[in-house]
Each structure stands twice: as C-alpha cells, then as structure tokens.
A and B are shown apart, each in its own frame.
Chain A
Amino acid sequence: MKLLSYKYFGIAFIAMLLSAINFEATAQRIYRDTVYLQNYGEITLWDNTTAFLYSFTYNEKQPAFLPGKIIEVEEGDSVHIFSRSISNDGFHTIHLHGLDVNTINDGDPMTSFPLSPYSEFTYKFLATHAGTFIYHCHVGDVMHVQMGMYGLLIVKPKGSKKTAWTGGPSYNKTYSWLTSELDKFWHENTPYAMMNEFKIPVFKPDYFLVNGKSKQQLSDTSTAIVASTKEKVYLRLANIGFYKHQFIFPASLNAEVVDSDGRPLPKSFVADTVNITPGERYGVMLQSSNALLSFVKINFIDMFTQQIKGTEQVPINIVQNVGVDDKNNTKKMIGLSPNPAKERLSIHINAKGSKNYGIKIKDLFGRQLMELWCEGFESKDIDIASLPSGIYIAEVALDEYTISEKFIKE
C-alpha cells in the first residue's frame, strides 16, 4: 500500500506545484484560517451523558467541537488552511470533500500524506464554485469521522451575496445542517493510534445528530428555523454519517431543491422528501405563505437493510408577516425583554382590565417547561437561567384569550 502511495505521489507532485502556483496568480484574495487536529475532547449529548471525541479546534486551548466550526469563504478566494496536529499520538489529515483539490492538498493519506503528531501543513485550494462542502479527517477514515473530525466548509458567492450561487436564487436567511450518527461504544473503545490496519466494531449508533445535537438540543438557534412568511430560507444539508438521511419537510414549506455537491442543478425540483446519502450535500429553498409551527423530520436509514434506525425532528417556526397596525396591537398586549435573554425575562402585560394571568414557557416541540399563575401585574420577571440556550415560546393566557411570543435564551 505504501508503494502505491509513493508512486501516485511522485506522478502528481510536479503538476501539483504548477497548479498551486497557477491558482495563486488568479485568485482575488487570500482567505486564511487555522485548524488544530486533536485526538481528545468531549461532547455533552442530549441526555447529559458525555462522549469522548477526536476533534478540530481553532486555537490550541479550545475545548472540542462537534461538528467543527463552519469555515466560510468566498467564491474566487485562494484558501489557506494552516493545520497543526496537536495529538500526542496517531496521524490526521484534512480532506477537503467535494472541493476537487489537487492530490497534495486532498488529505487522503494513501495518495497524499498524513500529519504526524505536532507536524504542520497549510492546505491550499482555489474556491472555484459557491456551494456546501465538508472537511474531515481521512486517516482511518471510518474511525476518525465517527470520532467527530468533521465540519462544513461553505463557499459563498462573490461579495457574500445572499444567493445560493452567483446568479442563483436569492434568500433572506440561511441555515446549515450537518447530519451524522454517534455510536457511543465506538467512542469508548477507540484504538488510540490508527494509521494502517485496525479492526472496527459493529456499528450500532445510539445518537442521531444534526449539527452535533439531538432531541431538545435541536431548538438551538443555530439549528431550529425561525423565519417570517415573507422570508425565503436557504437550507444547506450535508450528510457525514454512515446512514442515509431522509429529510421530510412539511408540504406548506414548498421545499425546492436547487443545488447539490456545490453545483446548481440543471433544473430545480420541488420535493417534500429529500434523501441524502453519506458525503452528499443539497441546497433547499423553503418558504411558507402561512404561519407554521412544525418540524422537519429526519429519518436515519441503515444503508444495508434500508431500515429506519433513528428519527429526529428539527423545529421550524414560520410566523405570519404582520402589518404595522397588527404589530402595534400585538405590542400593546404583551412584550418580552430583553430578547434575547440570558438569565431573566421580563413579561410586560398591557391588557388593562385583565386580572389573572397564566404564563407557560414552552420549547418549540410544544413541551411545557415552566408554568406560573399570577394576579394583577403588568410586568413579571421570570428566572430562565436553567433553560438551555435556544428558542422558546412564552404563552400568556389572559381572561379570554391566549397570546404567544417567541424569545431566545442565550
């Protein structure tokens, strides 16, 4: 195997140097970033248990991330990712998945080279196409990816315009979901150093992840979709797991698939179900003409048996875009401040004449987390310090009707 590697490396090397020089000359700006590669870290899962990780971090003392941060560059950028292994054992790489980079920058240890402990390399490439890509470790790939060494790399159109690609469909808001699975047994029984041959356990994932989160963690503001009926949402979907991920959208979202793997589709199509197999990426435009409090359901499907092994639901909240008069009326009835809030949330009631107030705090799944019953107040402070960060709904029941308002817990 090593002989093969040397052969391919030799054939490619001169051409790689030439192409590296070539793209430097044509690029408009240089985007620089730093990634540290480490074989230690920890993630807290939805059930408050933890899992051992390998991870990408962005300074040497940072805690582990799952997934790695989103690296955002612009189309036409010359991208330089300085990489340093801070693992005290084992090898790592960064594979720039879908970016069609040359061999030396490709990060496959068999055809390029691995980073040994405390070694460094600057991966370089020209961002030729706007789109959604992945970066992940390719050493002992099945294990290092499962251990958490992955993240999204997004190439925006020139000028970071709010379009899917240069000249592509426009949007108002964007979200990115990088989906995966986690088998805790693997994380607790990982061979510490892996480069060549090693044995893997049977894969039986017990956590199904969207941006490293699941269950109630999915109401996190970076994952749950919140928009108005006048806003078009561009949702980037990427699968770095070992299962097929099936995204089922509410029909009223009019999900339109517009691009895949960093390329516009010849013709977009509307679909309420989008299947994404490992390594694929899709761009989906969402817009609802009516208010909607619902979920995008994600099935995690075993590629061997086609059985659904897990399901997650990401909240989606589309609010009716209200006119100025309606907005003023709503403001007269209930106000939340500060919003976003960290520890305390003040609820201001402006409904004169009402004497009894029931206040419920719910998450976007509709689960009730807090309930208070108050009399004769116009402003009430609530301790929300114990709530995990995310989007919540304060539901105030007045004498005859109920008013709901969203707030963000930081």
Chain B
Amino acid sequence: MRIKNNIFGVLAVAILCCNTGYCKNVKHTLYINKGLMKTVNNYAQLPYIAFNFTPKFASANAHMVLTVGDSLLLTIKNTDSQAHAFTVQNTAVANIAVPAQDSVKIKLKMNQMGTYIFYDPTEYPKNRYLGLAGLIAVDTKPTYKSYYWNFKEHDATFNNQLDKNVAVNWDTYYPSFFTCNSLSYPDSGKDTTANILGNVGDTIHIFMANTGQAQHAIHFHGFHSKIIQTNKYKKYIGFSKDSFPLESMQTMVLELVLDKAGAYPVHDHNLLAMTGNKMHPYGMMLIINVK
C-alpha cells in the first residue's frame, strides 16, 4: 500500500511538473577528458580523468540539474585514447560502451527526485576512482535554491599506480587529499555551487554524493538538516541530523532551513579528512553563510 502511495506520489509530482510546464528536454554533452588534478597548495598533481562540459580538462566533474519528469538527452564524447563506459546509478543506463575517440547518445527520463551518480564502471573501481564520476540533481520543482556536493578523497600513490595500470591494494588505502567538487579548503570556500549563501528563512536543497572510495562523516555546524532522499539505507529518510555518514557511492538530498544568520562550517568529522598532504587544515570543508 505504501509502495503504491509512493508511486502515486511520484507520478503525481511528475504530472504536476509537466502540467505546469516544468518538464523539458535537457541537453548536455559530456567530454571524457584526461589530465592532472592540482591539489591544494600545489602539493601534488594527480593523474585524473573527468566528465566535463567542454573538451578542455577540468578536475571538477560536471553536474547536471533537472526537474522530476525531465528527459536528459546526453552526448558523451570520449577524448581519451582508452575505451570507457557510462552508467547512471539506479537507472536503466548501465555500462554503455564509449569507445576511444568516439561518442554515444543517451536519453534518460528522470521520474524521481534524488541525486544520481553517473560514472565509468570500467575496471571498477579504477576509472571511477580516477575521477570519472559526477552527479545529476533531480528536484521536485526548479524553484528551490540548490547546492551540489561531490565528495571524494585521493591517495596520490594510488592515482599514480592506477594510471600506469599497476595493481593497488585497497586494504592499504590512506588518502591524503579530501575534496568537494575537486577542491580542498580554502579553495573549496570559493566554489559558489557548493558554499551556501542565503538569507534567514531560506529553504535549501543540497544534492550530495560520495564518489570516492572511503566513507565520510559529514557534520554541519549551526544546523540540523533533514534527509529527504538517499539511495542507501532508506530508513534514514526523514531523520533530522547534524552529523551523518556518506558511504562510497551513496547519495543524499538534504533539506536545510536557514533559521539564523552567521557563518557555519560543514566538514568531514573524520577529522583526518581536515588535512591536505597531512597538513591541517587543507581538507574537506565548506561554509554556510547566512545573512
């Protein structure tokens, strides 16, 4: 009965969105680009691959924003000399081959609110770990103020070995760079798609994903937020939390009501992640700024 109600709810939202003119075709081209990711303070340059909106490499993966009921018309162009593949987590789009220097087209209708990770499943988790993982944000209506957090951690030795097709032992994984949208603090503080800037009374939706290999523990200063969607551990939906885990390949949508002014950090409370190259405080941190 509950499942029926949920399906009915999703359909109702989809119909409502389409009737109000929200439903649309969203076209994007994603380029698979290979390059070097610059870490905080130029401590290191890591071999990296990313999905970008242009043929020019950028370490931050693209994120795409849709409304429930929208169709995503996607062209994926592989600029790499290696073959890749394309999957959108929790959808029918799975393991679509993208040959080297070739392209494919994909159409995908997004019928449910949530954060969806798109990634390369080739030699899993190698290519996803090396950077090929971004997020799709699907909201119930396009009027919410939204922010996008793609968390990831990086072990320089692992990046170098995997790039040279040398096997790694994940049991020895000890990352030393921790990023949101490919940036560590203080650089992450300049990312307007991630750092919340709002006014008292605003309701914010945060679309987040962990595309790294490790588990993270996200902590909000100043606020509790409500988990309104997640792809794992559904019992968490409805929880009001200030600290919560985000497993590898887990996604969430949070609803945050800004009830007071001020500046409030958000960071990984595995405090080892508050470092870069083992130096404090160059790690996984953002700022909520409320006027």
A-side interface residues toward B, CB under 8 Å? 1, 4, 7-9, 11-12, 15-16, 19, 95, 97-98, 100-104, 106, 108, 110-111, 140-143, 145-146, 194, 196-203, 242-244, 260-263, 265-267, 269, 275, 277-281, 303-307
Q: Which among A146, A203, A280 is the interface contact of B243 at CB below 8 angstroms?
A: A280
Partner of A303, one of B186, B270, B279: B270
With a cutoff of 8 Å between Cβ atoms, the chain B residues found around residue A277 in the complex are 215, 217, 243-245, 269-270
Complex contact A202–B174 (CB within 8 A): yes
Nearest opposing residue in chain A for B265, CB measure:
A108
**What residues on A are CB-neighbors of B170 within 8 Å?**
305
Q: A-B pairs with the 10 shortest C-beta distances?
A: A8-B263, A103-B262, A279-B269, A15-B261, A279-B243, A12-B262, A142-B271, A277-B217, A277-B245, A266-B238
B105 interface residue (CB < 8 Å to A): no
Q: How far is the CA of A277 from the CA of B173 in the complex (A)?
A: 19
Distance in angstroms from A327 CB to nearest chain B CB is: 42
Say yes or no: A12 contacts B261, CB within 8 Å.
yes
Complex: how many Å from CA A100 to CA B244?
Answer: 15
How many Å lie between the Cα of A312 and that of B217 in the bound state?
22
A108 to B217, CA, bound (A): 18
Whether B242 contacts A4 by the Cβ 8 Å rule is no
Looking at the assembled complex, report how far the CB atom of A130 sits from the nearest CB atom of chain B, in whole angstroms. Answer: 14
Q: Does B275 contact A (CB under 8 A)?
A: yes
Cα of A260 to Cα of B217 in the assembled complex, Å? 14
Q: How far is the CA of A201 from the CA of B280 in the complex (A)?
A: 11
Q: Are A280 and B244 in contact (CB under 8 A)?
A: yes
Rounded to whole angstroms, the CA-CA distance of A303 and B174 in the bound complex is 10
With A142-B275, A242-B272, A263-B224 already in contact, the answer to whether A11 and B291 are too (CB < 8 A) is yes
Alpha-carbon separation in the docked complex, A76 to B186 (Å)? 37
Let me know if A100 and B261 touch, CB within 8 A.
no
**Given contact pairs A100-B222, A277-B244, A15 touches B260 in the complex (Cβ within 8 A):** yes
Check A198/B280 contact, CB under 8 A, given A11-B291, A100-B242, A203-B272: yes
**A104 / chain B contacts, CB cutoff of 8 Å:** 262
A-B contact pairs, 16 of them (CB 8 A): A11-B263, A11-B289, A12-B262, A15-B261, A15-B262, A100-B222, A102-B260, A103-B262, A106-B262, A197-B279, A202-B278, A203-B272, A263-B224, A280-B244, A304-B153, A304-B214
Cα–Cα distance between A82 and B226 once the two chains are bound (Å): 32
- In the complex the two chains form, is B219's CB within 8 Å of A111's CB? no
Q: Are B271 and A8 in contact (CB under 8 A)?
A: no
Q: Distance in Å from the Cβ of B262 to the closest Cβ of chain A?
A: 3
When the two chains form their complex, are residues A261 and B262 in contact, meaning their CB atoms are under 8 A apart? no
- State the CA gap A305–B265 with chains docked (Å): 26
Q: Given the complex of chains A and B, what is the CA–CA distance between A7 and B241 in angstroms?
A: 27
Residue with the greatest number of chain A CB neighbours at <10 A, chosen from B224, B260, B270: B270
A198 contact set on B, CB distance < 8 A: 279-280
Cβ contacts under 8 Å, A140 to chain B: 280-281
- Contact A303–B222 (Cβ < 8 Å): no
Q: Is the Cβ of A278 less than 8 Å from the Cβ of B243?
A: yes
* Interface residue ranges of B129-180 to A (CB < 8 Å): 153, 170-175
Q: Does B223 contact A (CB under 8 A)?
A: yes
Q: Are A103 and B245 within 8 A (Cβ)?
A: no
B189 within 8 A of A: yes
Residues of A within 8 A of B263 (CB): 7-9, 11-12, 103, 111
Complex CA distance for A340 and B111, rounded to whole angstroms: 64
Contact B280 A305 (CB under 8 A): no
Q: Give Cα distance in the complex from A110 to B285, angstroms.
A: 11
A280 / chain B contacts, CB cutoff of 8 Å = 217, 241, 243-245
A8, A278, A306: the one contacting B217 at CB < 8 Å is A278
Residues on A with C-beta less than 8 A from B213 are 304
For window 206-220 of B, CB contacts with A under 8 Å fall at 213-217, 219
Select A244's contact among B215, B238, B244, beta carbons within 8 Å: B215
In the bound complex, do residue A307 and residue B171 qualify as a contact, i.e. CB atoms below 8 Å apart?
Answer: yes
Find out whether the CB atom of B175 lies under 8 angstroms from the CB atom of A304.
yes
Task: Report the Cα distance A9→B265, complex, angstroms.
Answer: 12
* A261-B224 CB under 8 A given contacts A111-B265, A275-B245, A303-B270: yes
